Structure formats: C-alpha cells, structure tokens
Amino acid sequence: MILTAHLLLGAAVASQIKYLPLALLMAFLSHYLIDLIPHIEYSIDNISKKQWQKSAPDILRVILDFLFGILLILIFSNNYPIIYMGALIALIPDSLTIISSILPNKILSKHDQFHRNKIHFLKYKKIPVFWRILSQLLVVITSIILLIH
C-alpha cells in the first residue's frame, strides 16, 4: 500500500477514537489491516539493496508520497495533533521494514518476515492491477470521508 493510504487511514482512525491510547493502537494496526488487501506498491529495491547511487528516485518517490498524504490530511481534517500522531504511527510497520533492510537485526528481521510474508501474502497472487489500484483508491476516499466528519 502506498504511504498516502496508510497516512490517511491512520489519521482517520485516530480522528474517530476519543481515547488516545486506543486511537494510536488502532492507527498502528490499520497498517496491517489494509496491507492484507491486494494493492500495488512502488519499488524501493535500490534502498533495500543499499545501492545508494541509484536510490534517488526511490527516495524521491517515498518523500513525495509522504508529503502528498500529509497535504491531504491538512486539507481534509480539522488538524488536531492526534490526527497527525495517528498518521505517523500508521507508518511504523513500513519504517521498520526499511530500517531492517538498512540495519538488519534479529527482531526487525522477524517483523519484516511477518509483514512481507504473512500480511502481504496476496502480493504473490495474480490479481489484476485494476483491483489493486481500486483497493487503494477506496481506502483513500473512505479515509477522507472519515476525516471530514
């Protein structure tokens, strides 16, 4: 799932739950929930392979995706701090995956295996790109609707 979808859903979840610890926990878990849905992702292979000379496009894509998600939250939410906390916490699983590829260790490796193989299991199924894009679009639209209300 692209970062924009994770940011928006984490923000939307946090905006709907009044109890801060529960809001943040649910924002975190929302990441895994939507990663279960068939989706497309852009490659960060150059970062994962530590091919730093070729990583600029990957890094730029990640930064633009992140900024676009934050911009949508700015536009469509009432901008309470909890909304941004939820958005950022929803990115933790992908952040751990990136950290694991750069600085491997046993705990991060276990998380990475869980995230890639157990949560993203539909990634390896033949599902048309149309449905993979539509799933992300529906997450984004639903999240924006929740943020507006």
Q: What number of residues does the chain have?
A: 149
Q: Distance between CA 30 and CA 92 in Å, rounded?
A: 11
pLDDT tens-place string over residues 42-83: 877 777 777 888 889 988 999 999 999 999 999 999 999 999
Asked if residues 100 and 108 have their Cβ atoms less than 8 Å apart, the reply is yes
Q: Domain range holding 38?
A: 3-148
Q: What is the domain count for the chain?
A: 1
Q: What is the pLDDT of residue 45?
A: 79
Q: What single-letter amino acid sits at 123? A: K
46-54: Cβ within 8 A, 24+ apart: 47/98, 47/101, 47/102, 48/98, 48/101, 50/101, 50/102
- Angstrom distance (rounded) from CA 79 to CA 35: 25
| In the predicted structure, residue 130 carries a pLDDT above the cut 80 | yes
Please give the model's pTM, rounded to 2 decimal places.
0.92
Confidence class for position 37, pLDDT limits 50, 70, 90: very high
